[in-house]
Structure 1
Amino acid sequence: MRYMGMETEYGIMCEDTTISPIVTSTHAVVAYAALHTGARSRWDYAAEKPLSDSRGFDLRRYHTTPVVDPDAVGVANVVLPNGARYYVDHAHPEYASPEVPNAWDAMIYDAAGDLVLNQATRDIAKLWERKESVLNGHDPCPPIRIYKNNVDGKGASYGSHENYQYLRSTDFDVLTQALIPFFVARQVIVGAGRVGIGEEGEREGFQISQRADYFVQEVSLETTLNRGIVNTRDEPHADALKFRRLHTIIGDANMSQTSNFLKLGMTKLVIDAIERGVDFSDLKLQRPVPELKFVSRDLTLTHETRLVDGRKLTALGLLREYRERVLATDDVDRRVIEMWGEVMDLLAEDPLKTSHLLDWTAKYALIKGYVDKGVAWSDPKLRVIDLQYSDIDSARSLYHALVRKGRMTTLVDDETLENALHNPPADSRAWFRGRVTEKFADDVAAASWQSVEFVDGRRIDISDVDGWTREEVGEVVERAETVEELVAGVTS
């Protein structure tokens, strides 16, 4: 069983362009927290080590653990009833989904984040109409729009990060070299599509990935500059003697449930294979960073990457090699492998035959319709279409318009997403985090992936990712009426 989750930094736009996105993002978090949760705990940074590197060194930032007010501008934070974390990061509202043991649930809980952000936009609009503010010392925030994308059109990129738990005994160099060709190739399935070539979109055209232009090396600890295809952060959020966490920054933010499910599921299967000792060294690329961009800019999927052993393989050819070496261990894995093959077959016939499944081909089909009618690639209308596709508001979103028209396939219904919004996954420690911070909201002082701390100083360690489930502690949590009873019940 491999636990995983997503972190999505959403694009944010305010009708008043003079207001800093740091402020508007803070409003988006605090408004939702104030109106829909009772939890106002701060985030516990004690176990955070973002500068610890899997290659064996630590660029320590703090000598003491920072204590930050949960409503502070730029770092507002709330733990949601579903076990997720919702906060401000780098001037964006960010939703980090709860940890789950399979790609299907990870896709669902990531999509539930869109519901959180949608509700926040509605909350802000209502507060603006009533001239009320939930952020002390600040006027009400004008209406905002939220986009699930990765570029601002001005040269900056923000992330959609995947996280996969893996064994610390796994050789990091072997893991890295096995994953690099896979990450270069998988964008033909999981890319979100982008109008513009280059970091600032300075060249006209369309490419498969939103993020490909922003990576400059194979391996790096950086996430905002000098990005590497494989990120080396060694911050397991679990028992550090047993586990690491693969913090994956190379992916796009997906609207398509199919793209997101395959992104998570394929990557999980490849990590499984690496830990089983499957050899991928024959797939090593000569120049991975340039190939990342070449693959992204080849809409025909005919570009051949050059391997160290002299062979040439297209991205689909590489993905077929990976697919042949993975092994299903449960029904979710089997569904991933089957869908993986079906999508590749369609892409091989004609990429646009996947426009009902994948983000980049759905977006490209929309834009190509205008280009074929004579609209120039330089026309700003095409960039508007690009952006509007990723609008999470179903009334404005082109993605949601495709869903309504039956031109985009979904994997789960709205009821399933609503359930994931309000309820934590039952089969991981996220159940305890979500349920306790909801039930004992006034008593929780701080929380993190690994702990819950109460105002009376009591602290519960939940480092075991597969523990603290509804089956293990549900009866104790529901029966407890006080923190004292809760702590006594789970520690006895």
Structure 2
Amino acid sequence: MGVHRVMGIETEYGISLPGAPHANPMVLSGQVVTAYAAAHGIRAARGSWDYADEAPLRDARGFEMGRGVAHPSQLTDEWGDGDDPTLANVVLTNGARLYVDHAHPEYSSPEVTTPRGAVTWDRAGELVMREAVARLAASPPGVNLYKNNADGKGASYGTHENYLMRRSTAFADIVRHLTPFFVARQVMCGSGRVGLGTDSQRPGYQIAQRSDFFEVEVGLETTLKRPIINTRDEPHATADRYRRLHVIIGDANHCDVANLLKLGTTSLVLDLIEAGAVTDDLTVRHPVATLQEISHDPSCTTLLELADGRKLTAVQLLWRYFEMSQARLEATGEGGEQHTAEVMTWWQDVLTKLERDPMTAAREVDWVAKLQVLQAYRDREMLEWTSPKLKAIDIQWSDVRPDKGLFNKLRAAGRFTELIPEGDVLRAVTAPPEDTRAYFRGRCLARFPESVVAASWDSIIVEIPGRRALHRVPMMEPLRGTRAAVGDLLDEVPDVAALIAALAAAGDPA
């Protein structure tokens, strides 16, 4: 398997209205979604998403939380008022979902099968948000968006990853072997933040934006009592075959290499766990406290204490996962596969740089690149970490606008290692991946926009002209509905009625 598995990224964007710090973020987020939707002829309504198979309170540990005790933010399956602009919801022709997730606009990428695909369609989301901001700029003062995870005032919002796993894998094994990896992973893919603590109350700079906001090791919540391992059991696929691992601990990445490593190394560790090939128990004592200690140390020299008494740096612990993955790939013969080899090459390269001198990884790792810029300002203007200028630079780093965002300006100047050609990213804004069910979802929306009533990850509901009933097309198998399976059919059928009839005759290959 290597790095290949069904995966995707959900990114909530920070949002602000210049000169109006108390503006309602839900209303602003609705404006973002509707502005983009209107420009592309899409009606941004809550009812455009099919909630039939959602179960946000089902726990992987074998129980379901009662709705009466759940925090309102967990009830993501409630429809609300279909005309409420704060509940705007769009399914895009690239198979992604663009909607209001509480106080933020969120872009949820379509399902892909490689880390490179995940980076491509995640970057496509940046262009979607950039276009929305540009369209809203016509109505001053305009809404602005930031691809980050903390506002520096105590609020944090997520960049979540999703990985499809075998249902047969014991969840206890996932918790045991993935927790140490997540505690250490931030040194490769943290995005950096000015200030220590949830509200940046202490001066300093840290590796990851999200680490200070985590409170428990395992749990169902995502907005409070945040856990290192999230237990939400909502596979959006055939439930007796698949488990969707919902990862809430990552940062939003701008650097291609860091984003690739975030998805790729996690997929490789999941492969180890599924295969029972974890040969070294790296259980960390006090993982939540250790997570934050590592984030607070840009020198990467903090020692983690393992349950067996060993003490390792985060980089040394990641080397152990690298070595186990390398041994697994040698045993299976998958090490030479293109996408897997790419991840392993960058994993080795970045760990080598972090071990020698973290600042040498500025072209590949977000937190290092940001620290390099901030330190230059500090040195030139003799600034302390408490300086408001540094906090402003931190926010400006993630501004989605090409002429304002510091990362975007530095990218244009060639300061970072680019893995994804710009043309591929531009195509991904409107075109879906071709090797998952996202292809069928996206192409249906492109070809029959007036007939698609609602969609979700695992279904499409269409209205057939001349009939009073709606027709629901289930898509429970993520690797069906691909271009190879339905591409010719979607190109040839004249209307949605012919599509449904052809699918029925073919045994519903979607």
TM-score bracket for the superposition, by shorter chain length: over 0.9
Q: Partner of 2:86: helix, strand, or coil? A: coil
The structural deviation recorded for 1:65 is: 6.9
State the match for 1:17 in structure 2.
Answer: 21
Instruction: Give the Cα–Cα distance (whole angstroms) in 2 for the partners of residues 355 and 50 of structure 1.
Output: 38
State the match for 1:134 in structure 2.
Answer: none
CA contact (8 A) 2:185 2:314 kept: yes
The structural deviation recorded for 1:17 is: 3.4
Q: Look up the equivalent residue of 1:429 and give its one-letter code.
A: R
The structural deviation recorded for 1:241 is: 0.7
1:417-432 matched pairs, under 5 angstroms: 417-432=425-440
TM-score, normalization by structure 1: 0.95
Q: Partner of 2:85: helix, strand, or coil? A: coil
CA contact (8 A) 2:56 2:76 kept: no
State the match for 1:183 in structure 2.
Answer: 182
Pick closer, same or farther for the CA change 1:96–1:64 going to 2, 3 Å.
Answer: closer
The size of the alignment, in residue pairs, is: 479
CA contact (8 A) 1:191 1:359 kept: yes
The structural deviation recorded for 1:357 is: 1.2
State the match for 2:310 in structure 1.
Answer: 311
State the match for 1:271 in structure 2.
Answer: 270
Instruction: Give the Cα–Cα distance (whole angstroms) in 2 for the partners of residues 52 and 345 of structure 1.
Output: 41
1:225-304 matched pairs, under 5 angstroms: 225-279=224-278, 282-304=281-303
1:32-431 matched pairs, under 5 angstroms: 32-38=36-42, 40=44, 42-61=48-67, 66-68=78-80, 72-126=84-138, 128=139, 142-279=141-278, 282-326=281-325, 327-328=328-329, 329=334, 330-373=337-380, 374-431=382-439
| Superimposed CA distance per residue, residues 28-83 of structure 1 (whole angstroms, 9 cap, x where no aligned partner) | 00111111144656111111111110000112539997445655232210000100
State the match for 1:139 in structure 2.
Answer: none
Instruction: Give the Cα–Cα distance (whole angstroms) in 1 for the partners of residues 33 and 79 of structure 2.
Output: 18
Pick closer, same or farther for the CA change 1:437–1:287 going to 2, 3 Å.
Answer: same
Instruction: Give the Cα–Cα distance (whole angstroms) in 2 for the partners of residues 4 and 258 of structure 1.
Output: 17
Pick closer, same or farther for the CA change 1:264–1:60 going to 2, 3 Å.
Answer: same
Q: Partner of 2:87: helix, strand, or coil? A: coil
Q: Look up the equivalent residue of 2:9 and give its one-letter code.
A: M
CA contact (8 A) 1:178 1:281 kept: no
State the match for 2:508 in structure 1.
Answer: none
Percent identity reads 46
Pick closer, same or farther for the CA change 1:263–1:64 going to 2, 3 Å.
Answer: closer
The structural deviation recorded for 1:331 is: 1.2
State the match for 2:493 in structure 1.
Answer: 480
CA contact (8 A) 1:391 1:397 kept: yes
Q: Look up the equivalent residue of 1:450 and give its one-letter code.
A: D
Instruction: Give the Cα–Cα distance (whole angstroms) in 2 for the partners of residues 281 and 75 of structure 1.
Output: 46
Q: Look up the equivalent residue of 1:181 and give its one-letter code.
A: P
State the match for 2:443 in structure 1.
Answer: 435
Instruction: Give the Cα–Cα distance (whole angstroms) in 2 for the partners of residues 38 and 208 of structure 1.
Output: 39
Q: Look up the equivalent residue of 2:40 and give its one-letter code.
A: H
CA contact (8 A) 1:26 1:71 kept: no
Instruction: Give the Cα–Cα distance (whole angstroms) in 2 for the partners of residues 221 and 9 of structure 1.
Output: 19
Q: Does 1:464 align with 2:468?
A: no
Instruction: Give the Cα–Cα distance (whole angstroms) in 2 for the partners of residues 360 and 260 of structure 1.
Output: 12
Gaps of 5+ in 1: 130-141
The structural deviation recorded for 1:437 is: 1.4
Q: Look up the equivalent residue of 2:375 and give its one-letter code.
A: K
CA contact (8 A) 1:87 1:94 kept: yes
Q: Look up the equivalent residue of 1:394 and give its one-letter code.
A: P
| Superimposed CA distance per residue, residues 442-473 of structure 1 (whole angstroms, 9 cap, x where no aligned partner) | 11111100000013411100111000011101
The structural deviation recorded for 1:18 is: 4.2
Q: Look up the equivalent residue of 1:5 and give its one-letter code.
A: G
The root-mean-square deviation of aligned C-alpha atoms, in Å, is 1.7
Pick closer, same or farther for the CA change 1:264–1:277 going to 2, 3 Å.
Answer: same
Q: Partner of 1:204: helix, strand, or coil? A: strand
State the match for 1:4 in structure 2.
Answer: 7
CA contact (8 A) 1:71 1:77 kept: no
| Superimposed CA distance per residue, residues 311-341 of structure 1 (whole angstroms, 9 cap, x where no aligned partner) | 0010000000000111443211111011100
Q: Look up the equivalent residue of 2:30 and give its one-letter code.
A: T
CA contact (8 A) 2:190 2:366 kept: yes
